[in-house]
């Protein structure tokens, strides 16, 4: 076609516009993604990947992502049209729910030609009371394999997939991951780290060519998201999800907890104290085949020896481990065995304990002493070899039970947690 006169120029420009729009829709067959919100923190976020990169369309898969800090997040994908994404954003700003936005987009498709059956949407937000909600739509003519999964606070969607297993794996990783929304989104994305997850990338041996994880906190703006990890393109054969993981690890590094512990032992009985920095939870390996998650545990070893005790400090999806070798000698072991005549159970316990003596304590006196050596409870003239204690009105911690008879003094530690 000649574009020499004004009329022909307009026709050429219209044809060029139609071609560009068609190419955008062709190239933007964006593949697997997740949108989610966290009612506990008010965070909104999303993650996604596609076998398109910056050379196909500026930003690669990032074009699908539309976070609204404090409100929700929208993904428009498959045959992507900018106008549909803008319309979805406007509807969210007007207060529509995810399902209302999805319904509106189907009825008001902005493509050229109009065809909502080749679109795919995933939306999650908070209602006016802060409750999470989500919705999704997959057009019947999206390129297969295509589907979506909707949960209470998330939606996972994809097209041109290797199969349903990609979406299922993303959901399982998201639901089972420890930590905050960023941790869960990164885990979900790793759930699709399979060669050919987007089947167009199978020959390259990667899942995709571009990927991202984004989290917005209330008060963020689109230019300053709390977490904005983007890989718009990678060299041939390099996995972009792994590249996003590297960015994620760097981002989270300042939050890695520092594990440490101290201990006080009496023969084979040990009081461990967590001295970690920045940890929200701990896990113990006592080196004798037993483990625990109590922050400051009391542990009894069965025999003398050297034990490699390890403490893992956890925060969000981060963890670090510190180990120390502890040696217990057999010196005084006869006295230790004698002290085992006094049993406490459950130990640790939640405030209600039973004290059992293997020898007669009829008429004896019982005292409970705290870690500072202060007596906090006394029972005189015991009636039998079983005594019930209620410490629920006392602070949690380590206590010593002492039973005094005319001939002996028996002691045993007690842990109230």
Q: Could you tell me what percent of the chain has a pLDDT over 90?
A: 72
Q: What is the mean pLDDT of residues 388-417?
A: 89
Residue 67 has pLDDT above 90, yes or no: yes
Q: What is the mean pLDDT of residues 222-235?
A: 93
Same domain, 301 and 218: no
Same domain, 93 and 196: yes
Residue 339 has pLDDT above 60, yes or no: no
Task: Please indicate, yes or no, if residue 7 is contained in any of the structural domains.
Answer: no
Task: Please indicate, yes or no, if residue 85 is contained in any of the structural domains.
Answer: yes
Which of 254, 283, 318 is a domain's end point?
Answer: 254
Other CB atoms within 10 Å distance of the CB of residue 38: 21
Query: What pLDDT digit, counting tens, does each position of 49-66 carry?
Result: 999 877 777 778 999 999
Which of 328, 351, 376 is a domain's end point?
Answer: 328
Assign 21 a pLDDT band (cuts: 50, 70, 90): very low
CATH number at residue 300: 2.60.40.10
CATH number at residue 81: 3.60.20.10
Name the strands in the sheet holding 365-369, side by side, starting at the edge strand that comes first in the sequence.
Answer: 375-379, 365-369, 397-404, 409-416
- The whole-number pLDDT of residue 11 equals 43
Residue 394 has pLDDT above 90, yes or no: yes
Same domain, 310 and 348: no
Assign 299 a pLDDT band (cuts: 50, 70, 90): confident
- The whole-number pLDDT of residue 303 equals 84
Same domain, 244 and 177: yes
Evaluate whether 261 touches 322 at the Cβ level (below 8 Å): yes
Assign 335 a pLDDT band (cuts: 50, 70, 90): very low
Same domain, 190 and 297: no
Which range marks the domain in which residue 56 is found? 21-254
Is pTM, for the whole model, over 0.85? no
Q: What is the DSSP letter of 349?
A: B
Bridge partners of 268, per DSSP, are none
Query: What pLDDT digit, counting tens, does each position of 305-331 carry?
Result: 999 999 999 999 999 999 999 997 755
Q: How far apart are CA 96 and CA 277, in angstroms?
A: 44
Task: Please indicate, yes or no, if residue 334 is contained in any of the structural domains.
Answer: no
Same domain, 217 and 93: yes
Same domain, 403 and 296: no
If we measure between CA atoms, which residue out of 197, 193, 202, 206 comes closest to residue 31? Answer: 197
Evaluate whether 68 touches 44 at the Cβ level (below 8 Å): yes
Same domain, 102 and 241: yes
CATH number at residue 399: 2.60.40.3080
Same domain, 56 and 161: yes
Q: What is the mean pLDDT of residues 258-265?
A: 91
Burial annotation 105-143 (CB, 10 A radius, 16+ → b, else e)? beeebbbeeeebebbbbbbbbbeeeeebbbbbbbbeebb
Same domain, 347 and 315: no
Task: Please indicate, yes or no, if residue 80 is contained in any of the structural domains.
Answer: yes
- The whole-number pLDDT of residue 313 equals 98
Q: Pick 414 or 206 by higher pLDDT.
A: 206
Evaluate whether 48 touches 63 at the Cβ level (below 8 Å): no
Task: Please indicate, yes or no, if residue 2 is contained in any of the structural domains.
Answer: no
- The whole-number pLDDT of residue 340 equals 53
Same domain, 80 and 143: yes
Q: What is the mean pLDDT of residues 220-225?
A: 89
Domain count, the chain: 3
Residue with tokens 């004798």: 288
Evaluate whether 160 touches 136 at the Cβ level (below 8 Å): no
Same domain, 135 and 221: yes
Q: How far apart are CA 35 and CA 48, in angstroms?
A: 9
Residue 149 has pLDDT above 90, yes or no: yes
Task: Please indicate, yes or no, if residue 99 is contained in any of the structural domains.
Answer: yes
Residue 28 has pLDDT above 60, yes or no: no
């Amino acid at each position: 076609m000649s574009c020499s006169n004004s009329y022909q120029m307009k026709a050429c420009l219209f044809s060029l516009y139609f071609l560009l729009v068609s190419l955008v829709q062709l190239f933007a067959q964006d593949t697997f993604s997740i949108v989610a919100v966290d009612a506990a923190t008010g965070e909104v976020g999303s993650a996604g990947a596609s076998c398109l990169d910056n050379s196909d369309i500026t930003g690669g898969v990032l074009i699908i992502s539309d976070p609204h800090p404090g409100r929700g997040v929208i993904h428009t994908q498959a045959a992507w049209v900018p106008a549909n994404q803008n319309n979805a954003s406007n509807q969210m700003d007007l207060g529509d729910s995810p399902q209302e936005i999805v319904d509106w987009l189907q009825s008001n498709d902005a493509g050229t030609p109009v065809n909502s059956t080749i679109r795919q949407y995933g939306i999650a937000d908070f209602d006016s009371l802060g409750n999470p909600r989500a919705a999704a739509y997959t057009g019947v003519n999206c390129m297969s394999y295509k589907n979506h999964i909707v949960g209470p606070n998330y939606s996972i969607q994809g097209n041109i997939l290797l199969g349903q297993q990609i979406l299922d794996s993303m959901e399982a990783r998201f639901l089972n991951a420890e930590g905050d929304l960023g941790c869960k989104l990164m885990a979900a994305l790793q759930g699709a780290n399979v060669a050919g997850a987007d089947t167009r990338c199978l020959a390259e041996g990667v899942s995709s060519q571009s990927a991202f994880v984004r989290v917005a906190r209330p008060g963020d703006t689109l230019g300053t998201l709390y977490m904005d990890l983007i890989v718009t393109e990678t060299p041939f054969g390099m996995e972009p999800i792994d590249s996003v993981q590297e960015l994620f690890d760097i981002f989270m590094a300042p939050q890695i907890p520092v594990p440490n512990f101290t201990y006080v032992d009496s023969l084979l009985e040990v009081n461990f104290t967590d001295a970690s920095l920045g940890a929200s939870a701990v896990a113990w390996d006592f080196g004798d085949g037993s483990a625990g998650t109590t922050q400051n545990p009391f542990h009894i070893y069965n025999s003398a020896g050297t034990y490699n005790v390890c403490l893992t400090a956890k925060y969000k999806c981060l963890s670090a481990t510190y180990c120390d070798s502890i040696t217990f000698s057999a010196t005084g072991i006869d006295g230790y065995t004698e002290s085992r005549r006094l049993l406490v159970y459950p130990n640790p316990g939640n405030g209600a304990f039973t004290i059992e003596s293997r020898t007669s304590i009829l008429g004896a006196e019982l005292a409970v002493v705290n870690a500072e050596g202060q007596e906090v409870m006394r029972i005189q003239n015991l009636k039998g070899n079983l005594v019930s204690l209620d410490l629920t009105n006392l602070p949690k911690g380590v206590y010593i039970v002492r039973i005094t008879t005319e001939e002996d003094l028996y002691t045993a530690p007690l842990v109230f947690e």
